[in-house]
Amino acid sequence: MTDSRDAETERAYSYNGYERLGGEPRYLEAVVDVARDEYRRTGRVPQWCGVDLLRGWAFLLHRAGRFSSDDVYGLEWDAVLQAVREHPAARPSDLPPERTP
């Protein structure tokens, strides 16, 4: 993992999606799956996603990566983090770190 990716995953993990959105993994998945389903159909993160949903989504992807051999840090990960960066309501503390080359 690159230093940039490490910083991204640390920021994603710092948002406890279980406490903030879903209580436990299955409930968090249920909340995030509505947006993920649209992402899978269109290839785009839905514009209606709020900052907490986006951060919870990144948290869920990161948690999934910790407990599986799947590479969760691909196109979906990048799209979710970029959506947080571009969200008009995102505060500096919400923003994932910028990637370094």
pLDDT of 38: 97
Angle made by CA atoms 78, 38, 60, in degrees to the nearest 5: 50
H helix intervals, the chain: 3-14, 17, 25-42, 51-66, 75-86
Spell out the domain ranges in the chain.
3-94
Structure tokens at 25: 């993994």
Confidence of residue 71 (pLDDT cuts 50, 70, 90): low
pLDDT of 69: 60
Confidence of residue 10 (pLDDT cuts 50, 70, 90): confident
What pLDDT, in 10s, does the model give residues 42-60? Answer: 999 999 999 999 999 999 9
What pLDDT, in 10s, does the model give residues 25-46? Answer: 899 999 999 999 999 999 999 9
Confidence of residue 74 (pLDDT cuts 50, 70, 90): confident
pLDDT of 101: 63
